[in-house]
Amino acid sequence: MSLIRQSGQTFVWQVAGFLALAVSGMVTTRYLGPADRGLLAAAYLYLQLAAILGSLGLTTAIIHHFSRRQFAPEDFAGTCAAACGGLGLASFALLLSGLWMGGEALHRGIPWMILVLVLLPLPFLFALNLFSSLLQVTMDIPWYNSATHGPRLASLVAVLALLAAGRLAVWELVIAGTVLAVAWGLVPLWRMRRHAPGPWQVRGTLFRQLLADGLRIHIGGVAIFLAGRSNLFIANAYLSKAEVGFLYVAITLAELVWFISIAAETVLYPQAAQMPSEEAAQLTARVCRQIFLLSAVSGLLLAALAPAAILLYGGRAFLPAVTPLRLLLPGVVALTISKILSALWIREGWFLMLSALAGGTALLSISLNLILVPRLGTVGAALATTLPYMANASVSLWIYRRWVSRDLATVLRVRREDLVHLVRGLGGRPVPATGPALESKSRLP
C-alpha cells in the first residue's frame, strides 16, 4: 500500500474518531447534566493520570529501537506483554494506595467502586498503547488505525445503545467503558501474532534499553498532562461537581482549536526532521504563521459563538461554561505556536529543553490553579490555564528568536503567498515546496 494511500486512510480514521468522540460527548453531556458529567470527568482523570505516569515513555522508545533491528519482533512482543501486565498492575495498586492514604481530599465526591472500575483495565490500556506502536512500526497501518481510533467509534455505539435502553447513567457508562477497554486492549495484541508468529520472549536487556530512552521524555509528557489537566484535578477538590462539569465542557470545546494544529504536526514533524536546517526552519515558520492564523480565526469565531456552541454541546444547563470557554481560548490559540515550533526543537534533539519548558508550564499552571480556583471558581481555573499557555508560547518565540531568526514576523505575520498556499492546499492542488527565505539566517546547527 502506498504512503499516500496510508496517509489518506489514517486521516479518514482521525476524522471519524474525532466525530465519534464529539457526538458521544454531546450525548452524555446533555443527558447526564452538569453534576454527573463532572463526576464522570473527574473519575476518568485518574485513569488518564495512571496511564501517563505508568507509560514511562515506552511507546516512543519502541518506535526508535524497533527500527534498529537488534531484537526480533517476538522479543518486542514478549517484552511489551510483560511490561503491560507489570506496569498496569503496579499503576493500579500505587494510585489506589496513594488515594487511600491521601484521604477524601484527593478524590472528593468520587465513590471508591467507581475509581476501582475506572482503573481496572489499566493493563489492557497499556497493551493498547504499546502494541499499537508495534503495529505502527511494522507498517500494519490499517490495524494500527483500527486499534488507535476504533475505541472512539465503539464508545459511541455503546453510548447510543445505553441511551436507547434508557440506561445512560454514570455507573452504566463506567461499566461499559471498562468492558470496552479490556476488549479493545486485546485487539492489537492478537494482531501482533501475525508479525511475531514465533514464541514470544521477554528480554530484560531490551526492556532496560526501552526504559532508559523512554524516561528521557517521560517527565515532559507528564508535565504536559498536568499543565492541561491540573485545572480539573484542583477544581474537583474545591468546587462542586456541577462546576467541574462546566469546566470540562469549556476545556473540551476550547481544545477543538487544536484539531487544526494536530493535523499539521502529523505531517510537519517527520518532514522537518529529514530536511536541512535552513529548509526546515523556513517550512516550520511558514506552517506556524498559517496554522496560527487559522487557529486565531477559529478561536475568535468560537468566542463569538460560545453560547450557541455550549447550547449545542451540552444544553442550557451548561451556559455557565461560556465565560471559562472564552477565557481559555487565548491560551489555546497561543499554544499552537509552541506546538508547531516544537518540530524544530525535536529535529535538533532538544528534549531536555522541551521537558524544562513543559515542566515550567505545569508548575505555573498548578500554582495559579491553587491560588485562583478557591477564589474565582471556574473562571480562576480558566485563567490559571490560559496564562501558562501564553507564557509557554512567549518562551517558544524567545527560543526561536535566540536560535533561529531574530525576525519573529517569519512565524507570526501572514503573507500573501501563505493565503495562496492555503487555498491551493485546501483545493487539493500542488503547493510549491519553496518559500521566502528567513530574513535572518537560521542559527540551528
Tens place of pLDDT per residue across the chain (445 aa)? 444 455 556 667 777 887 888 888 889 988 899 999 899 988 998 998 899 888 888 887 787 677 677 889 999 999 999 999 999 999 999 999 988 888 777 788 889 999 999 999 999 999 999 998 888 778 777 888 888 888 989 999 999 999 999 999 999 999 999 999 999 999 999 999 999 999 999 999 999 988 887 887 788 888 888 899 999 999 999 999 999 999 999 999 999 898 777 767 766 765 776 688 888 888 899 889 988 999 999 999 999 999 999 999 888 999 999 999 999 999 999 999 999 998 888 777 677 788 889 999 999 999 999 999 999 999 999 999 999 999 999 999 999 998 888 888 889 887 766 666 555 544 444 444 444 445 444 444 4
* Helix, strand, coil percent values for the chain (each to nearest 5): 85, 0, 15
Residue 208 within any structural domain of the chain:
no
Do the domain assignments include residue 377? yes
CA distances from 359 to 284, 347, 356 (A): 24, 20, 5
Q: Is there a single domain that holds both residue 30 and residue 166?
A: yes
Say if residue 364 is in the same domain as residue 425. yes
Residue 212 forms part of a structural domain: no
Contact 150, 172 (CB under 8 A): no
Name the residue range of residue 14's domain.
1-202
Positive or negative, the Cα torsion across 100, 104, 108, 110? positive
- Distance, in Å, from the CA atom of 222 to the CA atom of 214, rounded to the nearest integer, reads 12
Look at residues 159, 177, 202 and tell me which one is the last residue of a structural domain.
202
Q: Distance between CA atoms of 151 and 182, rounded to whole angstroms?
A: 11
Number of CB atoms found within 10 A of residue 62's CB: 26
Query: 332 lies in a domain?
Result: yes
Q: Which residue has the cell 453534576?
A: 35
**Which residues have a Cβ under 8 Å from the Cβ of 353 and sit 6 or more positions away?**
345, 399
Would you call 139 helix, strand, or coil by DSSP? coil
DSSP state of 196: -
443 and 396, same domain (yes or no): yes
Identify the pLDDT of residue 426.
47
Q: What is the structure's pLDDT at 21?
A: 82
Residue at 439 is within a domain: yes
Whether residues 159 and 260 share a domain: the answer is: no
Cβ atoms of 265 and 339 within 8 Å: the answer is yes
**Cβ distance 79 to 203 under 8 Å?**
yes
Same domain, 175 and 250: no
The answer to whether position 262 is within a domain reads yes
Q: Do residue 196 and residue 271 come from a single domain?
A: no
**Domain check: are 190 and 233 in the same one?**
no
Supply the pLDDT for residue 445. Answer: 43
Place of cell 512500526: 137
383 and 428 together in one domain: yes
Question: Identity (one letter) of the amino acid at 268?
Answer: L
Instruction: Give, as one character, the DSSP assignment of residue 145.
Output: H
Last residue of a domain, one of 156, 171, 202: 202
Based on the fold, state whether residues 374 and 405 are members of the same structural domain: yes
Residue-level pLDDT at 352: 77
Per the listing, cell 468522540 goes with 21
| pLDDT for the residue numbered 259 | 79
User: In the numeric block, which cell numbers belong to residue 157?
Assistant: 455505539
Q: Which value, to the nearest 10 degrees, does the dihedral of the CA atoms of residues 223, 264, 408, 390 take? A: -30
Q: Which residue has the cell 494482531?
A: 191
Does 283 map to a domain?
yes
Angle 73-102/3-55 helices, nearest 10 degrees? 40
pLDDT at res. 419: 62
Read off the C-alpha cell for 370.
491553587
Cα 41 to Cα 185: distance, rounded to the nearest angstrom: 21
Residue type, 249: V
End-to-end CA distance of the chain: 36
Q: Which among 199, 151, 164, 158 has a CA at the least distance from the CA of 51?
A: 151
Task: Mark whether 197 and 222 lie in a shared domain.
Answer: no
Report yes or no on whether pTM surpasses 0.85: no
The reply to whether 194 falls in a domain is: yes
Domain boundary among 202, 230, 256: 202
Question: How many domains in the chain?
Answer: 2
Distance CA 1, CA 141 (A): 9
**In a shared domain, residues 130 and 231:** no
- The string of DSSP codes covering 223-280 is HHHHHHHHHHHHHHHHS-HHHHHHHHHHHHHHGGGHHHHHHHHHHHHHHHHHS-HHHH
Tell me, yes or no, whether 318 and 293 share the same domain.
yes
- Sign of the CA dihedral running 331, 334, 338, 339: positive
At which residue does the C-alpha cell 462546576 appear?
A: 243
Determine the pLDDT at residue 65.
78
